[in-house]
């Protein structure tokens, strides 16, 4: 199945057998998404299949964990008492390396600061039979693409940008750690059957337009929640003009539209990439099974959007949301009209979305063009290689040399500023400023924790060009620059090799394979540690209704997982639930006062931080809920955004609508994830309200929940909806999915 999974064959024979059963049952042509998904059903002969309605029980081929989420995932796996993982699984150290000086120095510093965590992950991987990619190896999604992805793969990963693998014909889905534990424990993974959105591509990508512009356009069309509950399937003649790594860029950022995942059909560009990364045998097998890896003629999509690549103009999206698109020709005017800071302070390229050999080569061509006229970046220009293999190859081929002469600083092979791991010094906190990146996400404070930073996401080529002028009103397709010789010139269109003509240089070996015998390996967690903490089971539901819950916070506006559980400096506590809970909701805006991290303690009447008030309620055995608006929990897959409210005494989250991963994470931890049947009832909730959730003993799939809102002597009866199925109701009753797993194991059976 990969060069690291000896003795594990490709699953095409089994997938074909399952798909034959499915086709016999359903009849008619299938989309590619359906083929890959349904061929991984646990019981293909009897599973109910209805797009958007039924819950599928699936058997993924593998699991991938990044180091920040792996800590809690492995702590949950350890508490399950199982001996080893049931499917091929890997851990990738990419999230804990802070960008501060340069790649080598930042990596050395991270190894020292995070030694306890890295030692824990390394020993746990060895003990429980997981592969371990050491710090410096690269970003999880690039490592997966280079080594593990193959057409037809079904993989889950504890990171929201896991769909990156769709560029190689995989269905790769971002999940919370509890879902990963299920699969590693040989329990079927449950997913609500997605709808399928077709994205029909015509024309060809050329000139300044890049694959990034495709997904930026899709984000504009569908918005940040338009893909919720759906797989986006790209098809049409335009696909052939996009490289494999370009397709991965597009599927990677599908997370920003809320999509379950995204996928491209198998083609020659994928086969070429497989061969270039040492997997020619997989390319051959995929070619033999191509009928499994492309959509059937006449298949039906729930919705189709059309994009003509011939007329697609480069886009720059932002600030503060990835679906606010500006064609480069209108960026300057829109920025002036909206009061965005015109001067760009920093340009950053790379990240898991745009750090391929092709991306770096095309940026180097722009840099070379500028250098030939005596110009270089006029602002700090940071470069993040996606993997050690890419870094070593672009170093050998002179690309790093060009980017450094251009003024670039090459950072570690890690997530870095994309996830807020950036020790930024050039602006003060609260100072209004603009940055441009080739990253995927640009929520408030995402990159540098500064809520006044206006982050725009674009292609690496456009980020490089904008770094030369240092302004948002520069259009490299039309505007001229002045060289040091005083002559005017226009930048040439970017160009670069899709794959290195000399082949890839693997660079330093950073992989730790699981040992043949692991009985003597010890995995220790120091009780005094402030980085790691063994988990205690959450309390079971006591069988009673939730009466007069306090409203901890009524949240106004966008509330992503970054707002619920901030990243950046808090990443170091991802393995210690109590410590990281001190960041709960600190980025969310309180509707009462339009302030962040300041809520009234309804018991004492005084204002305090959100975590402090929650801890006081918990100490006094007062149940609480939080109330929010649309697409609550969008963004990262981090399950800490569900674990923290549960740990600090929360029992319910009531909102207008949820993002998919976060809703599942809440359910897994025994929280009630509820939506207003009438969204207008959000306005009936006041910070001082007391909310009761009634008749919980009658909780059933598809049946609304009765609730009561009390305000200063008056009360309103309302209804709340939920998407819990029978199994998920058992999670709630047991206190969490992990509790239920242990209960069933103790009884000697598994009803899942």
Q: Kindly report, residue by residue over 406-461, the tens digit of the pLDDT.
A: 999 999 999 999 999 999 999 999 999 999 999 999 999 999 999 999 999 999 99
- At 26-62, the pLDDT tens digits run 999 999 999 999 999 999 999 999 999 999 999 999 9
Average pLDDT, the chain: 96
Q: How confident is the model at residue 747 (pLDDT cuts 50, 70, 90)?
A: confident
| pLDDT computed for residue 637 by the predictor | 80
The DSSP 8-state label assigned to residue 301 in this structure reads -
Pairing of strands 89-92, 131-133: parallel
Percent with pLDDT over 70 in the chain = 99
How deeply is 298 buried, as exposed, middle or buried, from its count of CB atoms within 10 A (0-12, 13-18, 19+)? Answer: exposed
- At 190-232, the pLDDT tens digits run 999 999 999 999 999 999 999 999 999 999 999 999 999 999 9
Which domains are seen in the chain, by residue range?
Answer: 314-476 (3.30.499.10), 546-748 (3.20.19.10)
- Give the residue numbers marked as catalytic: 94-95, 159, 441, 636, 638
| pLDDT computed for residue 665 by the predictor | 95
pLDDT for residue 744 is more than 90: no
- At 90-119, the pLDDT tens digits run 999 999 999 999 999 999 999 999 999 999
Give the Cβ contact number of residue 542 at 10 Å: 10
Q: How confident is the model at residue 25 (pLDDT cuts 50, 70, 90)?
A: very high
Q: How far apart are CA 418 and CA 498, in angstroms?
A: 24
Instruction: Let me know: does 228 contact 259? Beta carbons within 8 Å.
Output: yes
| pLDDT computed for residue 58 by the predictor | 98
- Mean pLDDT calculated for residue range 143-156: 98
| pLDDT computed for residue 735 by the predictor | 97
572: which residues sit within 8 A by CB, 6+ positions away? 96, 113, 114, 117, 531
Q: How far apart are CA 641 and CA 483, in angstroms?
A: 50
Q: How confident is the model at residue 745 (pLDDT cuts 50, 70, 90)?
A: confident
| pLDDT computed for residue 7 by the predictor | 87
- At 535-573, the pLDDT tens digits run 999 999 999 999 999 999 999 999 999 999 998 889 999
Q: Count of alpha carbons within 13 Å of 684, Cβ hemisphere only?
A: 22
C-alpha closest to that of 378 among 449, 485, 484, 457: 484
- At 620-665, the pLDDT tens digits run 999 999 999 999 999 888 899 999 999 999 999 999 999 999 999 9
Instruction: Let me know: does 98 contact 416? Beta carbons within 8 Å.
Output: yes
470: which residues sit within 8 A by CB, 6+ positions away? 343, 344, 377, 378, 379
Q: How many residues are present in the chain?
A: 752
Whole-prediction pTM:
0.92
| pLDDT computed for residue 749 by the predictor | 54
* Cα dihedral 410, 413, 418, 422 in deg (nearest 10): -60
Give the Cβ contact number of residue 618 at 10 Å: 15
pLDDT for residue 321 is more than 70: yes
Give the Cβ contact number of residue 712 at 10 Å: 8
| pLDDT computed for residue 751 by the predictor | 44
Give the Cβ contact number of residue 609 at 10 Å: 17
């Amino acid at each position: 199945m990969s060069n690291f999974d000896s003795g594990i064959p490709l699953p095409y024979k089994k997938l074909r057998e399952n798909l034959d059963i499915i086709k016999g049952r359903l009849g008619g042509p299938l989309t590619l998404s359906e083929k890959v998904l349904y061929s991984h059903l646990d019981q293909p002969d009897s599973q109910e299949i209805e797009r958007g309605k039924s819950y599928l029980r699936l058997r993924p081929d593998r699991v991938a964990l990044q180091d920040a989420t792996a800590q809690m995932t492995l702590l949950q796996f350890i508490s399950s008492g199982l001996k080893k993982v049931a499917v091929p699984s890997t851990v990738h150290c990419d999230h804990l390396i802070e960008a501060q000086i340069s790649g080598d120095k930042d990596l050395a510093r991270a190894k020292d600061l995070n030694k306890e965590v890295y030692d824990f992950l390394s020993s746990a991987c060895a003990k429980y039979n997981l592969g371990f990619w050491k710090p410096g190896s690269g970003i999880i999604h690039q490592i997966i693409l280079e080594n593990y992805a193959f057409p037809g793969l079904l993989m889950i990963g504890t990171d929201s940008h896991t769909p990156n693998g769709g560029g190689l014909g995989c269905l790769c889905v971002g999940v919370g750690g509890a879902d990963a534990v299920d699969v590693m424990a040989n329990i079927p993974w449950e997913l609500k059957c997605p709808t399928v959105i077709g994205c029909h591509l015509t024309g060809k990508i050329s000139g300044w337009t890049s694959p990034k512009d495709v997904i930026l356009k899709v984000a504009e069309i569908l918005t940040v929640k338009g893909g919720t509950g759906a797989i986006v399937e790209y098809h049409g003649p335009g696909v052939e003009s996009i490289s494999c790594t370009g397709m991965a860029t597009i599927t990677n950022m599908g997370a920003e539209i809320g999509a379950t995942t995204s996928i491209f059909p198998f083609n020659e560009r994928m086969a070429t990439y497989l061969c270039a990364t040492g997997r020619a045998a997989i390319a051959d097998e995929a070619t033999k099974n191509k009928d499994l890896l492309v959509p059937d003629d006449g298949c039906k999509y729930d919705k189709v959007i059309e994009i003509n690549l011939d007329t697609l103009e480069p886009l720059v999206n932002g600030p503060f949301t990835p679906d606010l698109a500006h064609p480069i020709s209108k960026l300057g005017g829109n920025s002036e009209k909206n009061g965005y800071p015109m001067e760009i302070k920093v340009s950053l390229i790379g990240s898991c979305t745009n750090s391929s050999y092709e991306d770096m080569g095309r940026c180097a061509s722009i840099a070379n063009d500028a250098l030939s006229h005596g110009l270089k970046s006029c602002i700090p220009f940071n470069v993040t290689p996606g993997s050690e293999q890419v870094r070593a190859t672009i170093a050998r081929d002179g690309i790093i040399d060009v980017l450094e002469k251009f003024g670039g600083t090459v950072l570690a092979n890690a997530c870095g500023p994309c996830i807020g791991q950036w020790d930024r010094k050039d602006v003060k906190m609260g100072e209004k400023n603009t940055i441009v990146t080739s990253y995927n996400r640009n929520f408030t404070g995402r990159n540098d924790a500064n809520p006044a930073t206006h982050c725009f996401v674009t292609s690496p080529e456009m980020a490089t060009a904008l770094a030369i002028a240092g302004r948002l009103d520069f259009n490299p397709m039309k505007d001229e620059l002045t060289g040091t010789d005083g002559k005017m010139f226009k930048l040439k269109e970017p160009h670069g090799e899709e794959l290195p003509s000399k082949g890839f240089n693997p660079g330093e070996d950073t992989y730790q394979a699981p040992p043949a015998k692991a009985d003597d390996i010890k995995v220790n967690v120091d009780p005094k540690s402030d980085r790691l903490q063994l988990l205690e089971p959450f309390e079971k539901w006591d069988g009673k209704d939730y009466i007069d819950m306090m409203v901890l916070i009524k949240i106004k506006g966008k509330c992503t997982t970054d707002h619920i559980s901030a990243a950046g400096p808090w990443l170091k506590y991802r393995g210690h639930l109590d410590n990281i809970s001190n960041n709960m909701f600190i980025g969310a805006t309180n509707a009462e006062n339009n302030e962040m991290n300041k809520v009234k303690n309804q018991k004492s009447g005084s204002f305090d931080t959100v975590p402090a008030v929650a801890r006081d309620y918990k100490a006094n055995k007062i149940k609480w809920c939080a109330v929010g608006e649309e697409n609550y929990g969008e963004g990262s897959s981090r399950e800490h955004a569900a674990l923290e409210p549960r740990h600090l005494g929360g029992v319910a989250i009531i909102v207008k609508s949820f993002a998919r991963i976060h809703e599942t994470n809440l359910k897994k931890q025994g929280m009630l994830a509820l939506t207003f049947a009438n969204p207008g009832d959000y306005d009936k909730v006041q910070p001082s309200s007391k909310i009761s959730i009634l008749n919980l003993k009658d909780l059933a799939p598809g049946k609304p929940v009765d609730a009561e809102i009390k305000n200063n002597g008056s009360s309103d009866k309302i209804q709340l909806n939920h998407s819990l199925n029978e199994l998920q109701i058992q999670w709630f009753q047991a206190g969490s999915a992990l509790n239920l797993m242990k209960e069933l194991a103790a009884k000697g059976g598994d009803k899942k």
